[in-house]
Amino acid sequence: MIRLTIVRIDAARTVRGVPLDQAPCTNGLIWRIDISIGLGSGKILAGLAFDAHQQQRESGAPALHHVHCIGVAGADSWTGERIAALLGRLIATMGRPAASLKDSGSDLHKAVAVREDDGLGSPCLADISHAAAGMLKRTYQHHPAFERFVSACGRVSGKLQQTLLACLAPPTVRTKARFMHVHRLCTWADRVLQLSPPGGAKRGSLFAKLRGALDDLPDCKALIKRFQGDAGALMACQEILKTRGLAAATVAQCAPRIDTMPTVAIGQEFRTSLAHQLGIATTLGLAHVGVPISSDAIESLFGVGKRHGVGETPDAARIALRLPAFCGTPTREEAEQVLGVSMGRQHEFTAACTSLTQQRREVLSHPGRLESLAREPDSPHVELIPRPKKWAKNGVNLYTKKRYGNDNGTPLAPLDESTVIENAGPPVCERIALTS
Q: Are 129 and 294 within 8 A, CB to CB?
A: yes
Average pLDDT over residues 396-401: 40
Phi-psi category of residue 95: left, alpha or beta, with phi > 0 → left and psi -120 to 50 → alpha: left
pLDDT band at 68 (very low <50, low <70, confident <90, very high): very high
Would you state the pLDDT for residue 188? 93
Q: How far is CA 112 from the centre of its chain?
A: 15
* Res 260: pLDDT: 94
pLDDT in tens, 142-187: 888 998 999 999 999 999 988 889 999 999 887 666 788 888 999 9
Domain ranges of the chain: 2-126+294-429, 128-291
Give me the sheet containing 124-126, strands edge to edge: 124-126, 99-102, 29-37, 43-51, 68-75, 382-384
Q: How far apart are CA 291 and CA 276, in angstroms?
A: 13
Q: What is the pLDDT of residue 382?
A: 77
Name the residue with higher pLDDT: 310 or 94: 94
CA proximity to 71, closest of 107, 38, 110, 34:
34
pLDDT confidence of residue 62: 84
CB atoms within 10 A of CB 221: 13
CA atoms within 13 A on the CB side of 407: 0
Q: Is the pLDDT of residue 25 over 90?
A: no
H or E segment and range at residue 43: strand 43-51
Report the pLDDT value the prediction gives residue 309, as an integer from 0 to 100: 62
State the pLDDT confidence band at 259, using cuts at 50, 70 and 90: very high
Average pLDDT over residues 12-34: 87
The angle, 0 to 180 degrees and rounded to 10, between the axes of the packed helices 80-94 and 106-117 is 50
How far separated are the first and last CA of the chain, in Å rounded?
A: 46
Q: pLDDT-derived band of residue 21, with 50, 70 and 90 as boundaries?
A: confident
pLDDT at 421 (0 to 100) = 39
Q: What is the pLDDT of residue 311?
A: 66
pLDDT digits (tens, 9 = 90+) for 275-295: 999 999 999 999 998 899 888
Closest CA to 104 of 138, 140, 155: 138
Q: Rounded mean pLDDT of 24-31?
A: 88
Residue 383: pLDDT band (50, 70, 90) is confident
**Higher confidence at residue 260 or residue 389?**
260
What is the predicted pLDDT for the residue at 273? 93
pLDDT at 377: 55
**Residues 340-356 pLDDT 10s:** 998 888 888 777 676 77
Predicted confidence at residue 114, as pLDDT, reads: 82
pLDDT for the residue numbered 79: 86
- Percent of the chain past pLDDT 90, that is, above it, reads 30
Position 410 scores a pLDDT of 46
Please compute the mean of the pLDDT values over residues 44-66 and round it to a whole number.
86
Q: What is the mean pLDDT of the chain?
A: 81
Q: pLDDT value at position 327?
A: 92
Average the pLDDT over each of 143-152, 320-329, 402-411 and give the range with the smallest value. 402-411
Percentage of residues in the chain having pLDDT higher than 70: 83
pLDDT band of residue 116 (cuts 50, 70, 90) is confident
pLDDT over threshold 50, residue 414:
no
Alpha-carbon distances of 159 from 155, 167, 214, rounded to whole Å:
6, 12, 8
What is the tens place of the pLDDT at every residue in 198-218?
777 788 788 888 888 888 899
What is the average per-residue pLDDT within 94-110? 83
Residue 384: the pLDDT is 85
pTM, rounded to two decimals: 0.79
Confidence of residue 360 (pLDDT cuts 50, 70, 90): confident
Model confidence at 390, in pLDDT bands (50, 70, 90)?
A: low
Pairwise CA distance, residues 56 & 67, whole Å: 15
pLDDT of residue 105: 73
Give the 3-state secondary structure of residue 179. Answer: helix
